[in-house]
Structure 1
Amino acid sequence: MTITTEAFTVQPFTRSCHHIWDEGAHVLIGVSPGNSYFNAGRITELVRWASARFSRIDIVYADLHVAELFSALGYEEDHAARRASKELKAVRRRILRGVEEAGPVVPAGVHGLSEFAGNPVYALLHRRVRHFLATDPVFRAGCEGMAAHFLSTKVGEPAADARQLAACLDYIAAELPFFLDTPGILGVPSSVSAYHAPIPLTELLYAKGGGLRASRNQAYAVVRPEGIAA
């Protein structure tokens, strides 16, 4: 079911996700560095929208394995490190500026993934992701599909090599704990992970049966501005 608000359309992935959306306890806004979608104005709009509907907001941006990914894409090691540092500083500035301009009336945290290295729930979930990457062919195929799609936009043809694929899988694995159990990581009763496009692994993470699955109080929703297709 699609929910239309004054600024965004929202597509909770399942009926349970819709219920968690209705609870309005917490929303996690994931931000990708280097993605032009996440300009300061868009972040301001998202935070204003979220602060009217949720009791708490957290924005998390990916700051792990970025330099390694640039290096795998062919940058010299020093250049890769400098470019990663530049992009991460820029995305953090944009987020902070967007939050400040939004003036949220609820708590709004801004975090890099690296801040959770010492979080025991995040660490456990990350180990589980790595375990399933090594042992579950279906899960690995889904992750490799995500990685291949991302890399195709960077390297084109021929297909990505093994080093590029490994670097991209490390990047994805660092993000996935927040799609599995944000409530456990952040200590909130329930949470909606919001992103502007469908994540290919969502079908698997919310499927019935065994394997790596999102927690019962974890939701996922595609949230995008009116008029922009998912």
Structure 2
Amino acid sequence: MSERIGEQIVASPLSSACADVLVRAEHACLGISPFNSYFSVGRIRALAAWAYERFARVDFFVPDAPSAYTFEALGYPAEKAAWKARRQGQYTRNKIRTALDALGVDHAAGRVWGWAELEGSPAFARLHAEGRRLYEQEAEFRDACQDASEWVLAGKLPAGAVPDERQVECAVRYFLAELPLFVDTPAVVGTEASVFCYHRPPEVLRRLYRRELAWQPAPGQGFAVVSSLN
């Protein structure tokens, strides 16, 4: 199930429920990853142009500070990992601003949700705590989260290297920090429905939206695999 928007963007909802939320077109949350060369200014501009044309409201999610957990898992000292995450997070925010400038979009029309903004949200705090609780108490859920973190680390380690238990346990904090926006973005941003948009979801998100895990998406939460044809 997919649809082509113009000549540049293809959006594929992960489930029939996600498709319903996509049709509602109330809110889009565009995930823009730091340290990922996929997100050039041009690609962000194309994704944003598609989103602003289709949705009533658009926000951007930049997992800036939590990126430090991945670097700590790769062996960076905590202070250096945090510095790299802050620097790249700001660089990513600047790319979003440049893309919006090119579209003639007022910056206020596209809020960026990074860690500083999310920490101030009671809804996010509640969801983050729930995710951590399930991680500690539900073995199947914990295994799924760890699989996602292993997938991320595998792309950053030397060919053939396998992350050890310590690395995975460190890196999983990154995924747990993102997870609330895959489960209930509407509660965080104050809408009734929202589609999280990203180009390459890990398998755990497909399982999440098939409602196979202990935690399940809120009724108004959707996910679309959104990619550029260029």
Partner residue, 1:62: 63
Contact 1:32-1:61 at 8 Å conserved across structures: yes
Partner residue, 1:81: 82
Cα distance in structure 1, aligned partners of 2:59 and 2:193: 13
Q: Tell me by how many angstroms 1:23 deviates.
A: 1.0
- C-alpha change, 1:208 and 1:173, in structure 2 (3 Å) is closer
- Residue identity matched to 1:3: E
Cα distance in structure 2, aligned partners of 1:15 and 1:114: 33
- Residue identity matched to 2:28: V
Cα distance in structure 1, aligned partners of 2:213 and 2:168: 26
Q: Tell me by how many angstroms 1:108 deviates.
A: 1.5
1:98-142 Cα deviation digits (max 9, x unpaired): 122122489321221331112111111111110111111221111
Contact 2:65-2:89 at 8 Å conserved across structures: no
Q: Tell me by how many angstroms 1:226 deviates.
A: 2.0
Cα distance in structure 2, aligned partners of 1:217 and 1:78: 38
Q: Tell me by how many angstroms 1:188 deviates.
A: 0.8
- C-alpha change, 1:77 and 1:116, in structure 2 (3 Å) is closer
- Residue identity matched to 1:214: P
- Residue identity matched to 2:155: T
TM-score w.r.t. length of structure 2: 0.91
Using the TM superposition, name which of 158-167 and 31-40 deviates more.
158-167
Q: Tell me by how many angstroms 1:13 deviates.
A: 1.1
Partner residue, 1:134: 136
Partner residue, 1:190: 193
Cα distance in structure 2, aligned partners of 1:216 and 1:85: 33
Partner residue, 2:145: 143
1:21-49 Cα deviation digits (max 9, x unpaired): 11110000011100001111111111111
- C-alpha change, 1:196 and 1:210, in structure 2 (3 Å) is closer
Is 1:224 matched with 2:227? yes
Count of aligned residue pairs for this structure pair: 227
- Residue identity matched to 1:211: A
Contact 1:64-1:174 at 8 Å conserved across structures: no
Cα distance in structure 2, aligned partners of 1:81 and 1:198: 25
Using the TM superposition, name which of 98-107 and 196-205 deviates more.
98-107
Q: Tell me by how many angstroms 1:79 deviates.
A: 3.3
Is 1:2 matched with 2:2? yes
How is 1:38-187 mapped onto 2 (pairs within 5 angstroms)?
38-104=39-105, 107-156=109-158, 157-187=160-190
Using the TM superposition, name which of 116-125 and 176-185 deviates more.
116-125
Q: Where in structure 2 are there 5+ consecutive unaligned residues?
A: none
Contact 1:65-1:167 at 8 Å conserved across structures: no
Using the TM superposition, name which of 178-187 and 63-72 deviates more.
63-72
Partner residue, 1:34: 35
3-state SS of paired residue (2:214)? coil
Cα distance in structure 2, aligned partners of 1:223 and 1:206: 16
Q: Tell me by how many angstroms 1:208 deviates.
A: 4.2
TM-score w.r.t. length of structure 1: 0.91
1:63-106 Cα deviation digits (max 9, x unpaired): 23333432331224443333223212211111111122122489
Q: Where in structure 1 are there 5+ consecutive unaligned residues?
A: none
Partner residue, 1:201: 204
- C-alpha change, 1:111 and 1:100, in structure 2 (3 Å) is farther
- C-alpha change, 1:208 and 1:68, in structure 2 (3 Å) is closer
Identity of aligned residues (%): 32
- C-alpha change, 1:66 and 1:209, in structure 2 (3 Å) is closer
